[in-house]
Structures are given as C-alpha cells and as structure tokens.
A and B are shown apart, each in its own frame.
Chain A
Amino acid sequence: GAVVSQHPSRVICKSGTSVKIECRSLDFQATTMFWYRQFPKQSLMLMATSNEGSKATYEQGVEKDKFLINHASLTLSTLTVTSAHPEDSSFYICSARDRTGTGGYTQYFGPGTRLTVL
C-alpha cells in the first residue's frame, strides 16, 4: 500500500514554543491530507483537512491560529503547533488520501508524532 511518513516521531518542548510536524506521501501525490489528534485509549479526532494550494478546513473547536497547516505541495503538509502548552500534549497523526484504481479514495496514515509539552 501507499506510504505516509511523519517527522519527527517524538518531540518534547517547553511551554510557549512552537513545534512543526511534517507529513509526506512517499509514493503518491495527495491533493488532500488530514490531521488527527488522539488521546490515550481514544479514537482519532479529526482536526483539519489540508488541501494542496488552498487554506485548510478546520473542524469545530480547533483553533486555526494555534494549529497552522500548510500544504504547499502534493506530497507535503505541515502542522505547526504555536505557543504550545501542556494540554496540547497528544499523539498527532496525519493521513493522506490516494485515489484507487476504481475511482474511489483510500486514506493511509502516517506513524504519528508524540508531542510532549513541559
């Protein structure tokens, strides 16, 4: 299947700093990527939909000025957590959508980034 990478896999930062997470589709082009957040023992929560060349669409309750998303190319989307606070500590997972041979879409996920804010 298609491969999605994320970097870094783990980051620890001080409160008030900004953290950038990269998501890349390695063997396909993705016009649409998604950013999720997952708390322990819970399901994935969609934060935003990232479309190449246009502004991201944020889910209700997600602060767009705090979680900056840039989808500058068909293989790269970035999520920047600005002025991070301890409550932003979580597992962030990106996903990229690939077109199937039958015309539908399948989503593939990255390995996730564990963010810890001290």
Chain B
Amino acid sequence: GQQLNQNPQSMFIQEGEDVSMNCTSSSIFNTWLWYKQDPGEGPVLLIALYKAGELTSNGRLTAQFGITRKDSFLNISASIPSDVGIYFCAGQLGGNTPLVFGKGTRLSVIA
C-alpha cells in the first residue's frame, strides 16, 4: 500500500541534543499525526495536526503541518533516555479514509 517517506530511518544522539525528523508525500493530506511506539506496545499519539501551516507543541515536542499539505516534521528538544523508541508519522486525507504510515524513525539516545 501507499507509504510516506519518513527520514531519517534511524538516529543515534546524545542525551540533551535536539532531534528532528520529517515525512513527505507525493499527495496531499488533510491530517498529519505523529505517534511513538515502544517495543511490544501499540503506537501512542503524540501530536495531531489538522490545518496546513499549523505548529503544535506537546511539552518538548513540536510538530508542523507543511503549508503544501505534503509534509510534516517533528522536533524533540533536549532529548532524554525515555525518548528512545520508534516514531511514526501518519497522514490522512479525510475522516473516512485510513491512515497512511511512514516507515518509522528509530531513535536511540546515548546517556
């Protein structure tokens, strides 16, 4: 099925560093969602974006809905060990359409 291009695929960072990851698509979406998945768990919603250009924060996390509707990014500031996990972006065209997922960004934080 259709997938988003999510980058980077993996990253190793030092504790305290900032992190940035993004998703791009060849088609537009009307909703962008960012999830975090820990091993053996289901994805947990971090941030939901519903309007082009929207910039939303959730604690140390900030995400933006690209103005073209074809991309989104997620930033994590001052990373801590519990930020370790896999981050997935997901786009949705409309309320009745299924989510399209990126392949995930695997984040490792070195203390």
Q: What 9 A-B pairs come out closest when comparing CB atoms? A: A109-B42, A112-B42, A105-B95, A111-B42, A109-B43, A43-B101, A43-B103, A93-B42, A110-B42
Interchain CA distance A102-B54 in the complex, whole Å = 14
Contact with B along A46-70 (1 / 0, CB 8 A): 1001000000000110000000000
Q: Report whether B104 and A43 are in contact in the complex, using a CB–CB cutoff of 8 Å.
A: yes
Chain B interface size band reads 20 to 34
Cα(A6)–Cα(B103), bound, Å: 23
Main secondary structure of the interface of B (DSSP, over half): loop
Asked if B107 is at the interface (CB within 8 A of a chain A CB), the reply is no
Q: Looking across the interface, which residue of chain A has its beta carbon closest to that of B106?
A: A41
- Knowing A6-B42, A43-B104, the reply to whether A104 touches B1 (Cβ < 8 A) is no
Residues of A with Cβ closer than 8 Å to B? 1, 4, 6, 32, 34, 42-46, 49, 59-60, 91, 93, 95, 97, 100, 102, 104-112, 114
CA–CA, A109 and B106, complex, Å: 19
Known: A49-B98, A100-B50, A105-B95. A111 touches B41 (CB 8 A): yes
Chain A: minimal CB distance from B93 (Å): 11
Closest chain B CB from A29 CB (angstroms) = 15
